[in-house]
Structure 1
């Protein structure tokens, strides 16, 4: 069975509970290695009043074992989640595991801990000196993000023909989809320049990327308000959004529990849950674990199965 490193996420959130309660399930089809101290997970078990599975395998990160403060944003939890993530990457780099799966971190806790990167994707870009690409979704629909964790006011200036053309070709190199629908930026794709000219650059990038690939892979741009219509979702599985929320809002509205996050254009396979730390329910109720199970499944298989167009 394939070995998968699991970074434990923010210890004050739902990540550790998800890992513990689903261990018996995922061990049937992979060999998980948990980047956490057994003593820490024993503390989690005590708070949750559940037993620590006896057959868990550990690869603890560097540093001390912090105290658990359910639902609190602390530098200690931020530092531990970051070091757990770095330990998982190290195991993948040395080929001790085939892939990694990450549980949710809290970005403010990382900041408080002095971590310079905003989140997982940015840390992967820095570690591997490449543009790590974020794609989220499930077998029904995947959304790739041209820009991800940047302020909305900064999105427009990132959209150039050259940058988007390179992004599209890199995306196809990672996921050789049959076709993908590209969203515009402005309402009605700018209406011929009435509401901005960024969509002209998007259209040119699509044309040149398709020309370079010698086939019509990328379709668009299409106005974001109609991109995710039932007809388009029936026809397309892959969508490309210029920025974070316009792509992920419909995805999470439709497939919140099923969706996962996969990082493309890096030398290791990294999958993740597509949800946050859920402080509101941490150590209180049992969280939905379907996103984690789907993320582990992709980390195990290494394949994104394309839905056939109808």
Structure 2
């Protein structure tokens, strides 16, 4: 049986993305057929700078025909334009897209005014759900790249129930997942309204949807500061966080090297590494962990 093709968006060329791609090509090729949204001379230049053999052939690249200049560890409009073009090209040619890390400020300098991959995907395809994790623990985000001061205004019974229903339809349905832990918003999930009333809205949404589904699938709201204690991690494999950091701080503390970032609810499959460009170690001879990248590729196939 032929291997499934996966389009690789090359990420910020001044970061660790090219090193990860070069180091991982042989392993990826064992279970899929990766092809790269970049010009072949870029890979040659990166391999020289990194003192690595380039295992990727020119026929494995879909050229962008754009200017590039590798500036290790630098935020740069040229690298921003290149990584954005690479991502756009991947979406144009494949329904399985693997993304290496971009730098949001570099995108901005290049005129790509999106807070990240997910925001551009939403513009193209409509609302998607950001989920990060690994088989040991996945965390889905009700709000992701939103300033914390704005999150409260997004919470209503209707908006949260709609989110839970989309998460169920886009991911949970048909999977052997008995319960999902829903984090509260306020400290101690509001302490019965003493510390805020948003958690009442979350609770009402959970009750209504569980009733509609005919089962107690969503459990909560659970106090965020206690949601990830060992007994809860033994009980739950999937968590829903109302905002970015409440869910991702424990996830990255526990599983940073192996977790991935996926966008649910799209007509395509997209997965990414769960780390940034690592400018501090890029092109400095440092060992780069590729487990997140390999796991993301496996999620696509």
For residues 54 and 68 of structure 1, the distance between their equivalents in structure 2, rounded to whole angstroms, comes to: 18
Q: Which of 111, 116, 127 matches 2:113?
A: 116
For residues 117 and 259 of structure 1, the distance between their equivalents in structure 2, rounded to whole angstroms, comes to: 23
User: Any gaps of 5 or more consecutive residues in structure 2?
Assistant: none
- Against the structure 1 CA distance between its residues 240 and 54, is the aligned structure 2 distance closer, same or farther, given a 3 Å change threshold? closer
For residue 271 of structure 1, give the secondary structure of its aligned residue in structure 2: strand
Give the alignment's TM-score, normalised by structure 1.
Answer: 0.92
State the partner residue of 2:224.
224
Residue correspondence of structure 1 range 66-215 to structure 2 within 5 A: 66-92=68-94, 98-128=95-125, 130-176=126-172, 177-215=177-215
For residues 179 and 173 of structure 1, the distance between their equivalents in structure 2, rounded to whole angstroms, comes to: 15
State the partner residue of 1:299.
300
For residues 170 and 228 of structure 2, the distance between their equivalents in structure 1, rounded to whole angstroms, comes to: 23
How many matched pairs? Answer: 293
Q: Is the 8 A contact 1:4 1:32 kept in 2?
A: yes
Q: Is the 8 A contact 1:37 1:65 kept in 2?
A: no
Q: CA deviation at 1:192?
A: 1.3
For residue 54 of structure 2, give the secondary structure of its aligned residue in structure 1: coil
Q: Is the 8 A contact 1:18 1:287 kept in 2?
A: yes
For residue 224 of structure 1, give the secondary structure of its aligned residue in structure 2: coil
Q: CA deviation at 1:286?
A: 2.2
- Once the two structures are superposed, what CA deviation does each residue of 1:184-206 show, in whole Å capped at 9, x if it has no partner? 00011111111110000000111
Q: Is the 8 A contact 2:25 2:56 kept in 1?
A: no
For residues 54 and 222 of structure 1, the distance between their equivalents in structure 2, rounded to whole angstroms, comes to: 47
For residues 209 and 81 of structure 1, the distance between their equivalents in structure 2, rounded to whole angstroms, comes to: 40
- Once the two structures are superposed, what CA deviation does each residue of 1:29-80 show, in whole Å capped at 9, x if it has no partner? 110010111011111111112222253601123x522100000001111111
For residues 22 and 286 of structure 1, the distance between their equivalents in structure 2, rounded to whole angstroms, comes to: 13
- Once the two structures are superposed, what CA deviation does each residue of 1:221-247 show, in whole Å capped at 9, x if it has no partner? 000001001000000000000000010
For residues 287 and 232 of structure 1, the distance between their equivalents in structure 2, rounded to whole angstroms, comes to: 32
Q: Which of 60, 64, 74 matches 2:63?
A: 60
State the partner residue of 1:22.
24
Q: Is the 8 A contact 1:260 1:272 kept in 2?
A: yes
State the partner residue of 2:289.
288
Q: Is the 8 A contact 1:10 1:77 kept in 2?
A: yes
- Against the structure 1 CA distance between its residues 47 and 186, is the aligned structure 2 distance closer, same or farther, given a 3 Å change threshold? same
For residues 39 and 56 of structure 2, the distance between their equivalents in structure 1, rounded to whole angstroms, comes to: 14
Q: Is the 8 A contact 1:40 1:65 kept in 2?
A: no
For residues 87 and 66 of structure 1, the distance between their equivalents in structure 2, rounded to whole angstroms, comes to: 16
Please, which moves more after superposition, 102-111 or 174-183? Answer: 174-183
Give the alignment's TM-score, normalised by structure 2.
Answer: 0.95
For residue 192 of structure 1, give the secondary structure of its aligned residue in structure 2: coil
Runs of 4 or more above 2 Å deviation: none
RMSD: 1.0
Please, which moves more after superposition, 171-180 or 1-10? Answer: 171-180
1:267 and 2:232 matched: no
Q: CA deviation at 1:178?
A: 2.4
